[in-house]
Structures are given as C-alpha cells and as structure tokens.
Structure 1
Amino acid sequence: MPTLSYDKKDLLSLIGKKLSDRELEEIINLIKPNVEEMGKDEIRIEHCADRPDLFGIEGLARAIRSYLGIEKGLKKFLVEDARMSVKVEPVKIRPYIACAILRNFKPTSEAIKSLMNIQEVLHETLGRKREKVAIGIHDLDKIEPPIKYTAVSRAEKFIPLECEAEMSLEEVLEKTEKGRKYGHIVRESKLWPVYVDSRGIFSFPPIINSDRTKVTEKTRNLFVEVTGIEKKALLQTLNILVTNFAERKCKIEAVRVKYPGKTEVTPELKEEVIQVDPKKVNELIGLNLSTSEMIELLERMGYEASLIKGKLQVIIPCYRVDILHAVDIIEDVAIAYGYNNLVPEFANVATIGKPLALEKLCAKARQLMIGFGFQEILRPVLTNPRDQFERMNLEASEVIEIENFVSEEYTCMRKWLIPGLLKVLAVNKHVEYPQKLFEIGDVVIPDKREETMSKSLRKLACVISHSKASFSEVKSVVESFLRNLGVDYRIEEFKHPSFIEGRVARVVEGRKEIGFFGEISPLVLEKWELEMPVSAFEINLEEMKV
C-alpha cells in the first residue's frame, strides 16, 4: 500500500475548485485512499494497491472531479494517428514493448515532479520493482529516428542519465546506483535490451535512460516506452501514464510497434464493458436503489452506464485496470453512495465456529518459530517451474499449471516452500545478517485420486542465512521444534539435489517421512545469486501426529 505525497496547490488546480482542507480530506477518504497527513503545502496519502490510476496527482484529481460532479461519466481520450515507428527485434529477456508520444507537454516544476513520481510508483507496484514492467520517458525532440528495440552485448556503450562519461552496459550495472539496484534483472542474460536511434543507445531498460534524452524544463514533447515480460501489464501501465498527462492537456499520439511478422499500434485506450444485475447490487450492498440511482452513482465514479434488457451495461474507463468482475462495479456503487451512509446490521448467523485441529497446530508452530527468533513471511501459492526446479538444481516434475496465466512469474502452483524463501533472501541481500525466515503455507501436488486431480498440503519451511549457517544450526531448530510439539521422530541419512551431499537429512515419524533439512548447495546459491551460506528445513505439518 504505497504512501505518496502531493502538492496541495497543484492538486486543487487540477480539480478546478476551491476546497477547504477538511472538504478535500473527506472526499479523498470517501473515494478509497486514506489521508495520513494534511500539511500546509503537501498532502500525504496512503493508497490501496488495487487503484494504480489514483497514484498520480492527475488521476486523483480526475476521480475527485468526477465524484463532485464537475466532470461526471466516462472520460474519452483522443489518440492521434501514429507518425513514428519502433522496430522490435527478438529480445528474449524482455520481449514486449509499448510506446506512446505526449505532445504539448508543459514542463512546469509540478509536471516534471509528477512525471518522475508516477514513473517510480508504477515501477514499484504494477512493475514489481521493474521486473515485470519498466518505463522510460524521454525528450522526443532529442531522439533521431529510426528507432529500434534490440538486444546487444554488455560491451556496448552510452552515457547514462546524470553521467558525463561513456560507460559500457556492464559498467552501468557496477558504477551507477540504478545499475546496482536493478542489475540482477538482466545479469543472467547474455544479451541485454536497449533502445537505439541513429545516434546510438538512448535507453537501457529496465536500468536507466541516456543523459542525451533526459527530460528538462525545455522539453515540449515526450517519448514514452514501456518494456516488460507481460504484455497486459505494460499496456495497462502505459494507459495510466498517458491518460494522466492528458489531464495536463498533453496530446496523445500513437506509435507503431513493428514486431517480426506483425505490427501493433499503442497505446490501446480501449474501454471494456461489464454487465451487472441491479438486483445483485442491492443484495450485496443492502440497499433498495433504483436503476436510475445506480447509473447516477456510477457516473460519479467515472463510468458510463445504461439499462439494457434489465441489466446494467457499464463501460469501464481504459485506466481502471482494477476492474475484473461485476463485484468491483458494485463496490464502486457503494463508494459513491458513501460507506458512512450505510446502516450497520448484525449478521444473521446462528452457528458457532471453532478452529480446525490443523489451524491450532499452525498457530502453535508459528509461535514456536517466532520464539526461535525467526520472522514470518507469506508468499503466493502461485509460482513458476524455473523457481521450483531449475534454480533448485532439480529435474522438472509434474505440477498443477495455470491454463490462462497472465504473468510468466505465476504459471503453476508451488510444490514446496523453500524456493520462495530463497527468493525473499535474493531480494534482501542488502539487509543485515543473520536472516532467519519461515513460512507456513499450502503447497499443491498432483493427485489423480482426488476429485480436483490435486491435493493441498500445509507445510512449514525455514531458512537461515549468514556467514556461518550450517547443518548443525538448522538441525538444532528442527529438533527443538519437534520436541516442543511432542513428536516421536528419528533422523536418517538422505540425498537431495538442492542440498550439499552429506549435509542433508530427513525426518521420519513412524514409517513416514515428514520433512528434511540441511545446507543448501552452492549450485543453488549461485542460481539465486546468494552470497551467504543458507541452511533450511521443510516439514509437512499434516503428516505429523501431534
């Protein structure tokens, strides 16, 4: 949930109406974000992660204007025909791009600050710290076509942003702040992605732009390029950015993106339509609204709505990337109506609940691990085969795959927890050591005996990372954990490709293997780019007799 600061004067100017601090705070809190601090010149706002269209000051102002009735209904954006093309050559590491041109940019200090802020917050959220999506914004008039997106060797040179000397791409990763921070995204690839014009490299995504094309107070036209591993996410990111700056009277111009064998035109500012049952609206919110009242409320939230054959046909703005289902539309009806206007009711439920035995065990396990000095993390159940197998020095095996996945990061269900913990260690190498993490969560394994052809299991895993992390250290944690739970166990020799041979063992209860532990193999550490030794264990909580 990002917390961002906004210039109050600029926000009120974009809204186009004078509002007192109290009025402004009340409206912002009603439309979803939460005002943390209302200062004399700045406002600090905590945002919900599902509304990236509100992260920029322009998008926030647009939502407030609509809510106040200054500019109700669906906002239409004109996209001028493409005059520029970008040739795309095969780039394995980041294969997709989308581009746009913003003309008539007025480079006020507020506009430039907003441009930089929205770029960075979209990097952190939709872009997943630039791994999924990265944005480059350039002075269009300093670019000399033809433009090409291609992959080059790390020896190629250019002058990075705010630098005076030419550097190779390898040097950029070593000598610049952005290179050190984001270099891990490209380092494993032999060839690295760049944008090139007739004068050479002007962008090295997802790391840094060139100094030659930087945006200054003299910039009048912008070239926006978005690269990534997921096409849908980069198109959504581009839509949010260009529609925000259309609020500052910039003209949006399309760009032809020429892939081998096909040409696409971006941005695609297409609206989608969702059908909503009016009865469901009243049922979920607990009101008795007429359809005309629902339409009025939806217009206050920036939608266009009409009643067709007893159903609400709702047109969704191109920048509302959070709308996935009719329930999301119903939520906006409730927001427009005002949560403060809803009358609370007691739930009409007569049953009495109690925790399952497994949940009691998990609670006790969690308490023990925290007592041992570990920090709990929660990772998604969704993952990918590369993390589960290749990086763990394992042969690929059957997994539950996602049929229509939207991200290369999440294509299957996880079979074990340790890879997720190593991933957390890999992105936290800058944090003080020792690092001691654990997770209690579900894994999903194929099982043809089950109706769903799969089975969920609750497991516990932990990792210990520091310069002297060892087999004996993790063994002591495992034994303390099992003794505290009263488990009758024994430890046996074991082999596992993810662990160092001779420094790995399994835990057996009766005739069943319930877990394993040991020191992670240097091959695995290298694949995760981990610099410290790691010891780990994983235990199946459902197999334990407690």
Structure 2
Amino acid sequence: LGLERGAPRYALAEPLLEVRVDPSVGDPRSYRPEIACAVMEGMTLDEEALKIVMKLQENLHWAIGRNRKQASIGVYDLDAVEPDLIYTTEDPDAFRFAPLGAAGAGEAPTLRGILENHPKGAAFAHLLRDQARYPILKDVGGHVLSMPPIINSEATRVTARTRRLFIDVTGLTRRTVSRTLNIIVTSLLENLPGAAARAVEIVGPGPGERRRTPDLAPQEAEVDPQRAARVLGVEIGPQQAVELLERMRHDARLEPGGRIRVLVPAYRHDILHPMDLVEDIAIAYGYHRIVPSLVPTFTVGGERPIEALSERARSLLCGLGFQEVMTLPLTHEHLHDLLLGRQPSGRAVRIDNPVSSEQTMVRTELLPGLLDTLRRNVTHPLPQMIFEVGEVTLLDGSAETGARDLRRLACGLAGARAGFEDIKAVAEAILREFALEASYEPCARAPFLEGRAAAARIGDRGAPAGGGGEAASPPAKPAGDGGASGEPALYFGEVDPAVLERFGIQNPVVLLEADLERLGGLRWR
C-alpha cells in the first residue's frame, strides 16, 4: 500500500542477562558452537499468540534451520529461569533432566534416553547420536532450559500466563543463527501488541570475547538502477527505483555516481546479492505491469547435442538395471574431499558467502554425491545400483567466466559381493554403446582401493570397444590422453574400505565416472 516506507527501526533495551558459552560446544565431538539470544517483554500471551510463536518457530526450523541441523530455536518462560545462563555440553549417559511433556514422579531420563524414548528425541536423534557430549543450556542454579536442537525442559514451558520470553537460537554458523534470531524477534515485535525486545550479553567462548544479540541494525548493500531496468526490460528511472525499494521497506539513497545505496532490514535473510534487490524492485513495480514481448530474432529450436547424449546414457544405464538419482551441485569440502581421504585439489569454485556450511563449493566430480546417497540408504535392501548424469564445475583461467562446466556420468553399485569385475562390465557396456575402443591402465586416485581401479584411454571411434583390457589402436585424436591435464575419459574401481568406514557403509561399493562430452565426441580436450 505504500503507507510505510523505508527500513523499520526496532528499539532494543540494554541487557540484564548473560549467557556464558563454554568452549566445549565448539569441540568436534560435540559440535554446535554458535548461540544468539534475546528477551521479549511486555506482551500478553493468549492461545492465539502462542500458536503464532510456535508456528513461526517451526517454519524457521524448516526454512532456515534445515530441519534443525543448521539452526534451532528455543522459547522459554524467563520467570522460571535463575540468571545467568550457561551454554555447555554434558555426558549423555550421566546427565538427566525432565524434557517437555514429561509428567509424574520418578527419575528423569538421561540425555541418551531422551533420544531413544522421547518422540522429539527419536525424530531428531540423528543430529546428536554420533557426538561424544550433548549441548545443554542451563541456568546458574543447574536448572535445564533445553538440549539443543532436540527438546526444551518441562520446567520452562511457555503458557498463557507467561509474560517474559527468553529466546535462544543455536546452530553451526553465526550468520544463520543471527539471522534466524533477527527474524523471530522482529516478527514478535510486529505481531504481539506491547512487545518489547531486550538484548542479551553473550560471553565467550574465547577469553575476553563478548557480544550483544540480537543485532537489528540494517545491512548495507548497493544496486545499479540502470542494470535493474535492463534486467527487467522496463523503463525505471533511478529515483523511481529508490521509491520502489522504499516500498519494500528498504532505506534507499541515490549516490552521486548513479548507484543506489540500500539499507536492508535485519529480518531480510534472503538478500544476498544485488539481483535480490532487483527482484524487490520488480515486486514493488508489479509483475503484472511487465508486458511480455516477442524476441526480435527468429531461430529454429532443436535438441542440444549434449542433451541427446545424456538421454542416450540414461537409457543405457536404466537398461543395465540402474536407478537415476540427482544430487546437489553445491557441496562442502568435508564430504567432497576429506571423507574420500584426499585434500582439496584447488580446482573447485568456492562460495564467498555460503548460506550453509554444507554449501561452500561447487562439485568437481559426481562420485562423492553417489557415496553420500548410498550412505543415506544403508538400511534399504541390497544390491543398490544408482547413477547420475550431471554437471561438474572446474576452475579454468582461459574460460570467459573463469570456470567451465562439464557433463559427467557416474554410477555406483553396493552389494555384499560387489567387485571390480561388476563395474568393469558396466564400463565396457558404456564404451560399446558409444562405439569406442579403449585401453586400460591402473588408476591411483581417491576413493578407490589401490590395485583395484582402472582408467580407460579412448582410441579410434567407429569400432566396438576393446574388451578384456587389451590395448587399442593409437588414438586418432588427443581425446585418449585427456589433453594436457592427462585426465582419463572414464575411470572405475572398488572403493577403499577406509573410505566406506568413514561414510558408515558396511558393504562393498564399486564406482565409475566418465566424461560424457568426450565419450560422445563433443569435446576432444
């Protein structure tokens, strides 16, 4: 409606409460290092208000917290707490408390017992099960508030009689934790009449480390109004762009150089790039006002050769009994490299401002994603035969963008008797499908077991693939030696048992990965 413009300002009272963070929460054996907190006062809660709070909490758990893995929220009755608070870890088999919903007398369950027997504990047990110690938020009197990210304590249950709320967000990265807290605090300020926010002092975990949360100050950003107009295809002047951004609750000011300096509200977790501000300009302008128009040039559409090649590969693998999976192109070093027993290669595109600690780089091969898929399906029947056709990205200084995308094919087979001969048969079927000759040579690369892996060097096209590992005729083009990089067009083998152990896979696994563009003759380097 445009009745309120510009970034909203939120008053934040001085802190009266400290949360002391123990260094143990950052230990790899009990890893949940970040916490941010706030106090909400002055509001009157009824059943409807409680529903608002709980619904907001669960929506944020799903949307930003990635089902509590990246961030989880706790809401408590502050009057049931004895200041100050301690965020620490405890022994899961010795420490006890009564979780939310526990009723009646009797000894409170242990932390591990909560994971095994409480409904919420069972639902989210995978987040803590492998940790040596579990995170606990408690007050100085030893009364437990919660076991993040699983369950709150019954003693701090929020009811319609609650007048002061204590809110905590714990998680893996400070950015996600802080933004989540900002969203819930600002939402409560706007939706609960009379609500006021008070900061909380976070002390530690390092010596002398202190900070106040939440930080509700707007974040600075810039956008080029001329670029916004070009992207949207409409005539929007710089001053009009400023007004549209103000309607979206940003502070915006036109700078002398023609760019717009923007102050983004603290609750806008989704503003990561100038294009996000261009999207806000489009929303305020109105999508219905953007008139579709025909492209001035005329072309005849057709299937791209790489897509035809990909469909051919999919048809082949499905015919061999494999099931297609699709894994995420964004991954992280721990899964992509360290679990495979290798160091990062330096060939990967890395994300400067990752939204999640699980999305810090673009994959350079498909095999780690297949291993992760097999890990997630260890409870399903064997054998498991999966494949993927997808893009990988490698740094390339000669490319216009500094990186190039390659279309790859990968497949994996997990079974009690899976061995080298099984995956070699798949390799020969692929080479036969593309009418390629190849010679095989030993392949020493992660994640394969030494002496149980091979690479295929491609020779001439047009004849059936060579079998039994016999050397092919000399290649007519440099595809066989992979160009200057020496990268084979296809490699396969048995996965090292040490790698399988790190992934928690108990049965043998064989894997294969191939460069589809080189197999199909679309690229010789």
Which residue matches 1:514?
489
Residue 395 of structure 2 corresponds to residue 441 of structure 1: no
> What is residue 197 of structure 2 aligned with on the other side?
252
Tell me the alpha carbon deviations over residues 5-30 of structure 1, each in whole angstroms, 9 at most, x when there is no partner. xxxxxxxxxxxxxxxxxxxxxxxxxx
Shift of 1:341: 2.0
Q: Which residue of 85, 91, 108 maps to 1:166?
A: 108
Matched, 1:157 2:102: no
Select the residue among 127, 130, 155 that pairs with 2:68: 130
Larger Rg: 2
Give the direction of change, closer, same or farther, for the CA distance of 1:148–1:103 in structure 2 (3 Å limit): same
Q: Which amino acid aligns with 2:312?
A: K
Q: Is structure 2 residue 39 aligned with structure 1 residue 83?
A: no
Distance in 2 of aligned mates of 1:367 and 1:161: 52
Question: Are 1:399 and 1:412, in contact at CA under 8 Å, matched by a contact in 2?
Answer: no
Say whether the 8 Å CA contact 1:295–1:305 is kept in structure 2: yes
Q: Percent identity?
A: 36
Show the 5 A alignment for 1:394-433: 394=342, 397-400=345-348, 402=350, 404-406=352-354, 407-427=356-376
Question: What TM-score does the superposition give when structure 2 sets the normalisation length?
Answer: 0.79
Tell me the equivalent position of 2:180.
237
Task: State the shift of 1:255 in Å.
Answer: 0.5
> Out of 264, 273, 284, which is 2:220 matched to?
273
| Change in 2 beyond 3 A, CA 1:545/1:74 | closer
Number of the residue aligned with 1:74: 7
Q: Which moved further from structure 2: 144-153 or 80-89? A: 144-153
- For 1:111, the aligned partner's letter is A
Q: Deviations over 1:368-408 (max 9, x none)?
A: 3345441230312x433321333224466545463745444
Indicate if the aligned counterparts of 1:500 and 1:520 stay in contact, CA closer than 8 A.
yes
> Does the C-alpha gap of structure 1 residues 524 and 311 become closer, same or farther in structure 2, counting only changes over 3 Å?
closer
2:125 pairs, out of 183, 189, 200, with 183
The change in CA–CA distance for 1:70 and 1:110 in structure 2 (over 3 A counts) is farther
Pick from 82, 101, 104: which aligns with 2:42? 104
Q: 2:494–2:510: 8 Å Cα contact kept in structure 1?
A: yes
**What are the within-5 Å matches in structure 2 for residues 7-46 of structure 1?**
none
Measure the CA separation in 2 of the matches of 1:108 and 1:426.
45
Evaluate the alpha carbon distance shift between residue 534 and residue 178 of structure 1 in structure 2; reply closer, same or farther with a 3 A threshold. Answer: farther
1:209 to 114, 129, 152: 152
C-alpha distance after superposition, 1:407-457 (max 9, x if no partner): 443444434322122223444557777654332233345778889887654
How far 1:238 sits from its partner (Å)? Answer: 0.8
Which residue pairs with 1:461 in the alignment? 410
Instruction: State the alpha-carbon separation in 1 of the partners of residues 264 and 402 from structure 2.
Output: 37
Aligned mate of 1:525, from 500, 504, 508: 500
**TM-aligned CA distance change 1:432 to 1:225, over 3 Å:** farther
C-alpha spacing 1:315/1:473, structure 2 compared with 1 (3 Å)? same
CA 1:488–1:393 in structure 2 vs 1: closer, same or farther (change >3 Å)? Answer: same
Determine whether 1:194 maps to 2:136. yes
Structure 1 unaligned residues grouped into runs of 5+: 1-67
2-structure distance, mates of 1:447, 1:337: 39
Distance 1:223 1:520 in 2: 49
Residue type of the partner of 2:389? I
Higher mean alpha-carbon deviation, 356-365 vs 193-202, is at: 356-365
User: SS at the partner of 1:386?
Assistant: helix
Shift of residue 501, structure 1, vs aligned partner = 6.5
Rounded Cα–Cα distance in structure 2 between residues aligned with 1:329 and 1:186: 38
CA distance in 2, matches of 1:451, 1:296: 36
